[in-house]
Structure 1
C-alpha cells in the first residue's frame, strides 16, 4: 500500500514559489517578495501542522452479508467506523480491497448515514485480506494532507463458482444414490456377509479380525464396503498437468475447480454421498447432506493449487467401485489416458482441459465418457452426461 506524501501538489508548488520569491528578491532588490515568500512558507507549515497535529484513534468493525463470497457473486459490506478526535474531520474514506474482489470502496467522510457501506464482487478464489480503512483529510487551503489507516484487516474467503448442472443420464436406483444404497443393504446384517480380501486404500477400521486370524491374511468386512460413498469426484492437480502457477490465475484450472465443486454439490443434491479427493489422495471434502459439509468443501477448493504428483486412480478409489466417478484433469495425452481405469465405476466421467489427439479414444476404450472442458462448465457436463457411457465427446 503506497503512502501519500504530506504535501499536496499545491503545497509543493507553494514551497517552490516561496523559495523563488526569496531568490528573486535578492536578485532584483524587491523586498516585498521576501514577505510574500515568507507568507507562503508559513502558510504551508501551518497547513502541515493543522492536519498532522490532532490525535486520532478509531475502532473499525466490518460485517459482510455472506460468510463465503462466490466468484461473480456480489455481497454487501457494512463498516462501523467510530473516530475519536478533537473535531470530526471532513475528507475521503477508502477501504483497501484485494485484487481478488472488485467494488467501489470509497466515499466522503463523515457519511450521511453514519455507517459506511459498499458492494464487492468476487473475482478470484482464495483467502484475502480486506482493509485497513484509510481516512484522507486535506487542510482548507489544499496544501497538506494526511492519510491514516485505522483498524485491522479482515480475511474474506472467495470460493469457486458453483453452477447448475444437468441430471445424470445414468441413475443408480430409483432415486439416485440414496435408493441405491438402501436397496443394497436390505436383508443384510453384519453377521451374514462374507468378508473379502484387503485392497490397498481400504480403511483399517474395515478389518475383519476374526476372518483375518482364520485365513492368515487381511480380510475386510463386506458390509463396510456397502456403506462407502456412492460417488467420488477426483481433482487431478498434479503439477505436470497444469502450467507453472504465476501471478494470474490459470483460467483452465479455475474451470476445473469450478466443475469439481459443482459436480460434488450436484451429485449430493441427487441423493449421493460424495467424497471429493485430489490426485494425491487428500480428502478435500465429504458431502453427507449437511450444509456445513458444503461450506467445508468450498473453503478447501478456495485454497487448492496445482502441485505435487498424482497417484494411480485405482489406488485412490480402493477396492470399492463407486457409482458416479468424476475425474477432472488438465493436459491429457493418449498414453496417460490409456492408464486411467475407472475401477468398475457405474458412471465414469472424464473431463480434461486439454484433451490431446487420441486421448479421448483411449479413455473411451476403458469405459470413460471423455469430454473436453472449456470455460463453459455446464455445457461440458451436459455433453458428458448426455452421451452413452464409454463414448467420448471430443471436438473435431
Structure 2
C-alpha cells in the first residue's frame, strides 16, 4: 500500500542529550537518585563497597541515555487515507507504514499519531524489532460528525532502552489532511419546469433557407476528420475547408446557500444549517452528474464553479470526479456568516445569472423576500427550498421531552415558541405565497423531511409543499394515504 505522501524521515530535535535526560522514566529517575545517594553516603561513611553500588546505580540510567542518543536508526514513515474525503458520520481508515532504512535492527518502537480531539483519541502502537530494510504496517479508524478539514500527524516515534529507564521521543515531518464533507443524498431525476438538459442536442444555427450552401466552413486543422471536408468551399478558396462542428450546449445552474447566522436555528450536526449544507451538496452533485456547469454561491458573494459531464456518470458521489470534489471541499469548510441580506449574491447574479437557480433558504423577512423577487427576474427557472427553521428550534428545546413528529407538539418546549406557533405558521405561508407569486417553485422543508422526497415533488408540476402536501394530494383511499404517510416518515427519519 503506497503512502499518500513521500515518506518522511525522522527529525532529530536540537539539544538531544538534554531532551534524553528529561525522558528518564520514573524507574530511571529512581535509579539515578538512589545511585547519587549511595555515592554521597559512601563518601561520608568511607564505605568502598557502597561506593561501587552507587556508581553502578548511577551508570545504568546515564548509560541508557547515552545509548538512545547515539542510536543510528534511520526510519521513514508514510500515511494513506481511505477515503481522503469522508462524509460526516462515517469512518475513514488511516494506514501507517514504518520502514527501517538502516542496516541495523531496531529496538522496540512505540508509535503515536497526532489527531484532533474531534476525531477520537490518539492512536498508539507498539512495534516489534524491525529487521534491516524491513517495514511494519498498522492502521486505525477516525470518525467525525462535524464537517471540516482536520490535520493528521506528524507521527511521533518513542525509543526505549531494554531496562525501561529512558524513553526518547522523535517526530516525523509529514502530515496529511482529512476532509470531512457533508452527507450527500441521491436525488431522483426529475425535469424542472423551464430547464434544459445539461448537455442537450446541438443548438440549431440560424441558417438561410438556401440549404447547404450557407454552411459556414473553416480552414482545415491537423487532426480534423477528412469526412468533414467541405469540397465546394475547398474549390472556392483553394485550400482544404471543413464544416464547423456544432458544439453541444452547456447549461448553467446556480446553487444559492443561505449562510446567515440569523436565518438558521439549532446547533451541531442536527442544526438547520447542516441540513441546508447537505441539501446544497446533494443538489450540486446531482446537477453536475447531469452535465451542468454548476456555480455554488453564498449570501456573502463567495462562489465556486465546476463543470460536469455526462461521460463522468457517477461523479455525483462522494470523492468521485474533480468537479464533485471541488464542490465538496468548499462545502466542507463553509460556515455561518454575519450577513443581513442577499444583496451580495444579487450583485453576483446580476453579472451572470442565466440558467437554473436553486436556493436553500433559512428564515426570511420582507427585505430578503424583495431581494429574492429581484433574483428571480435574472434566472430561467428558480426553485426555493424554504426551511422551517423553528422546527429545528423545537427539537433543540426538547431536552428530555418526547417528540411526537413533525408538526406535532412536544413536551419540554418553552412557552415562547409554543405560543408563537400559529403566528409563525401564518408568516411562513405568507412567505411561500409571495415567493410563488414572484415565480419561484417553493418546497417547504422541516426538520426530519427527506430531501429526495421534496425533490420528487418538482415532477408534479405544482408548487408543492413538502411531503405532507404530497400525502394530501394523493388519492383519497385509506390504503394510499397510509402508504404515502409511512413512506415520508420513514425517509425523513433521522
TM-score by length of 1: 0.69
Query: Where does residue 431 of structure 2 map in the other structure?
Result: 363
Alignment partner of 1:257 is 2:277: yes
Q: After TM superposition, give the deviation of residue 126 of structure 1 in Å.
A: 3.5
Alignment partner of 1:311 is 2:342: yes
Q: Which has the higher strand share?
A: 1
Alignment of 1:235-246 (within 5 A): 235-238=257-260, 240-241=262-263
Alignment partner of 1:286 is 2:303: no
Alignment partner of 1:114 is 2:135: yes
Q: After TM superposition, give the deviation of residue 266 of structure 1 in Å.
A: 1.8
Query: Where does residue 79 of structure 1 map in the other structure?
Result: 97
Query: Where does residue 68 of structure 2 map in the other structure?
Result: 51
Alignment partner of 1:135 is 2:157: yes
How many angstroms apart in 1 are the aligned matches of 2:273 and 2:67? 53
- Any gaps of 5 or more consecutive residues in structure 2? 1-18, 209-247, 313-320, 392-423, 469-494
Larger radius of gyration: 2
Alignment partner of 1:338 is 2:363: no
Do the aligned residues in 2 keep the contact of 1:135 with 1:149 (CA within 8 Å)?
A: yes
Q: After TM superposition, give the deviation of residue 52 of structure 1 in Å.
A: 1.9
Q: After TM superposition, give the deviation of residue 90 of structure 1 in Å.
A: 1.8
Q: How many residues align?
A: 348
Cα distance per residue 1:311-365 (max 9 Å; x no partner): 3355443475644x332345x2444663433616645132437348355323311
Structure 1 100/178 Cα, relative in aligned 2: closer, same or farther at 3 Å? Answer: farther
Q: Which has the higher helix share?
A: 2
Q: After TM superposition, give the deviation of residue 11 of structure 1 in Å.
A: 1.4
Do the aligned residues in 1 keep the contact of 2:342 with 2:368 (CA within 8 Å)?
A: no
Structure 1 105/167 Cα, relative in aligned 2: closer, same or farther at 3 Å? Answer: farther
Alignment partner of 1:301 is 2:331: yes
Do the aligned residues in 1 keep the contact of 2:256 with 2:358 (CA within 8 Å)?
A: yes
Q: Which of 383, 390, 404 is matched with 1:348 structurally?
A: 383
RMSD between superposed Cα atoms in Å:
4.3
Do the aligned residues in 1 keep the contact of 2:157 with 2:171 (CA within 8 Å)?
A: yes
- Any gaps of 5 or more consecutive residues in structure 1? 192-225
Structure 1 96/49 Cα, relative in aligned 2: closer, same or farther at 3 Å? Answer: same
Do the aligned residues in 2 keep the contact of 1:93 with 1:107 (CA within 8 Å)?
A: yes
Alignment of 1:1-396 (within 5 A): 5-19=22-36, 21=38, 35-71=52-88, 72-84=90-102, 86-99=104-117, 101=119, 104=123, 106-110=125-129, 114-123=135-144, 124-150=146-172, 152-167=173-188, 171-172=192-193, 177-178=196-197, 182=200, 187=204, 189=206, 229-238=251-260, 240-241=262-263, 252-270=272-290, 272-289=292-309, 291-307=321-337, 309=339, 310-312=341-343, 314-318=346-350, 320=353, 322-323=355-356, 325-330=357-362, 332-335=363-366, 338-339=369-370, 340-341=372-373, 343=376, 346=381, 348-352=383-387, 354-355=389-390, 357-358=424-425, 360-365=428-433, 366-367=435-436, 369-372=442-445, 374=447, 379-383=450-454, 385-386=456-457, 390-393=463-466
Q: After TM superposition, give the deviation of residue 127 of structure 1 in Å.
A: 3.6
User: Runs (4+) of structure 1 moved beyond 6 Å?
Assistant: 23-31
How many angstroms apart in 1 are the aligned matches of 2:190 and 2:326? 28
How many angstroms apart in 2 are the aligned matches of 1:10 and 1:371? 67
